[in-house]
Amino acid sequence: MVHFFSEMNSENAYSCEDYMEFFMGEIKERTARTDLQKLTEGGWVKKIGDGSQTKYLKTSKKLPDIAG
């Protein structure tokens, strides 16, 4: 999750599918959704839209240094 976040461009919106593709299919959709929900709840990404049209934008909030 941290690697994806650090690679996100704050000017682009990303989908759950983009997240799964980043990990080359090594994570399941449920894991991707859970990770993105945690990033949203923490204020590191902003959720836009609902359902299949949901996208995520990186916010200016930085991850803590201890994030793994």
Residue 56: count of CB within 10 angstroms of its CB = 23
Supply the DSSP symbol for 12.
S
Tell me the mean pLDDT in the region 31-49.
94
Tell me the pTM. 0.84
Q: What is the mean pLDDT of the chain?
A: 89
What domains does the chain contain, in order, with CATH numbers? Answer: 2-58 (1.10.10)
Whether pLDDT at 11 is above 90: no
Whether pLDDT at 26 is above 80: yes
Whether pLDDT at 65 is above 60: yes
Tell me the mean pLDDT in the region 24-31.
92
The predicted pLDDT at position 6 comes to: 81
